[in-house]
Amino acid sequence: MLFFIPREPDARERRVAATPETVGRLVEHEHAVAVEAGAGTEAAFTDEAFTAAGAQIVAAAAWDEADAVLTVGPIGPEIIEQLKTGCAAIGLLDPYSHQEEVKLLAKRGITSLALELVPRITRAQTMDALSSQASIAGYKAVLLAASRLGRYFPLLMTAAGTVPPSKVVIIGAGVAGLQAIATAKRLGAVVEVSDIRPAVKEQVQSLGGRYIEAPEAEAAEDEGGYAKEMGEDFLARQRELLARHIAAADVVITTAQVPGRPAPRIVSREMIEGMKPGSVVIDLAASSGGNCELTRADEEVNHDGVLILGPPNLAATMAHDASTLYARNILALVEHILDEGKLAIDAADDVQSGALLTHGGEIVNPSMRQLILGEAAAENQGSAGD
């Protein structure tokens, strides 16, 4: 097969979908790999390094020649039109926000696999790109907050007197939140954590964080390990509980997201107005609407002296390590579906059925099929596919 690694079309996307390490693995499997010139430059992977690993560097994008295309971000309509029928497209395709592209992938007969749909089960951990990238985002969020806060994070005892430690409140104890806890504790902050899933309490405490007990509610976690969308009554009680903790905080980092849904609004304008001037809010859910009412994606908002940042893609700011981990995730998925040198789709395999978005001219992921086509049309397509 010919694998193609493009230079990401989004100028703000510094990551790359393969590294010399993963290219070497594909070459060992006797595949050909074409890498667009400069694809890894922003992530500190040179064309020479890719060539040494066995790749061919191509000056122009080879969309129409590839048997499989590995990407970081979604593929636009103009690119999908160039892909040959039967080609495989694998990456973080963001299907919930790119439904027209999903329909076009099906129409063009492209087999697409979205890494954000990989199920969170034990044997798919090596393919879990959401976790590998979220961990980087959680780490970088703390560094960003520390760099913008006009205070020390740790307790300091000096000849001029004692400086108390900063207080950090982290909302959401998923992968990003847990990494944020660990990083803030390493820097010496006092860390409090809110999460709707009581099951994470021990993880929070093991990292040195103080768990803010959540209001009682029905199960807040779905079968895939993701947080569920909660009702307004629960969210109102959670906001009331959080208000006093946020008022005392120097830094608030929010990470709460629900796949395919707008981010839950947790931090209100009133909460921000109750914070001390000079405090910092980092909203990692900015790209899906934000957990904070005042967040503006990719902008800085100063509200009554409180700085609110909505960085949309923090993982890309650590492009080298983010690409290294992501490339391993995507290679693990590719190797999982390779059979005798070809991509062999097995709908009975739970990993493949979870990640598979389009195949054989149809939208095959059940949730995406129902979302895009509607319930009746989804049932008809499913029956036809069966």
Q: Is 383 helix (H, G, I), strand (E, B) or coil?
A: helix
The reported pLDDT for the residue numbered 216 is: 65
Q: Where are the domains of the chain?
A: 2-127+320-385, 136-312
Please report, in tens digits, the pLDDT of each residue of the chain (386 residues total).
Answer: 999 999 999 989 999 999 999 999 999 999 999 999 999 999 999 999 999 999 999 998 899 999 999 999 999 999 999 999 999 999 999 999 999 999 999 999 999 999 999 998 999 999 999 999 999 999 999 999 999 999 999 999 999 999 999 999 999 999 999 999 999 999 999 999 999 888 899 999 999 999 998 766 554 555 555 555 566 777 777 778 899 999 999 999 999 988 888 998 999 999 999 999 999 999 999 999 999 999 999 999 999 999 999 999 999 999 999 999 999 999 999 999 998 888 899 988 999 999 999 999 999 999 899 999 885 455 555 544 44
CB 53 within 8 A of CB 21: yes
Residue 384: the pLDDT is 46
Domains 2-127+320-385 and 136-312 share a fold: yes
C-alpha distances in angstroms, 142 versus 10, 157, 253, 299? 25, 23, 8, 17
Separation CA 75–CA 113 (nearest Å)? 12
Query: 36 φ, ψ to 5°?
Result: -65, 135
212 close to 193: Cβ distance less than 8 angstroms: yes
User: H or E stretch including 36?
Assistant: strand 32-36
Query: Strands 190-194 and 210-212, how do they pair?
Result: parallel
8-state DSSP, 8: P
The pLDDT score that the predictor gives to residue 350 is 92
- Phi first, then psi: what are they for 57, rounded to 5°? -90, 125
The number of residues in the chain equals 386
Task: Give the CATH superfamily of 2-127+320-385.
Answer: NAD(P)-binding Rossmann-like Domain (3.40.50.720)
Cβ-Cβ contacts under 8 Å for 32 (sequence gap 6 or more): 1, 2, 3, 56
Task: Extract the tokens encoding 225.
Answer: 């390990």
DSSP characters for 218-282? S--B-TTSPBPPPPHHHHHHHHHHHHHHHHT-SEEEE----TTSPPP--B-HHHHHTSPTT-EEE
Q: Compute how many other C-beta atoms are within 10 angstroms of the C-beta atom of residue 66.
A: 24
d(CA 137, CA 176): 6
Query: For residue 360, what are its two tokens?
Result: 């054989």
- Residues 317 and 140 sit within 8 Å (Cβ to Cβ): yes
pTM (2 d.p.)? 0.90
Return the active site residues: 120, 125, 128, 131, 226
136-312 is classed in which CATH architecture?
Answer: 3-Layer(aba) Sandwich (3.40)
User: What ranges in 32-128 are assigned the alpha helix state H?
Assistant: 47-52, 77-80, 99-107
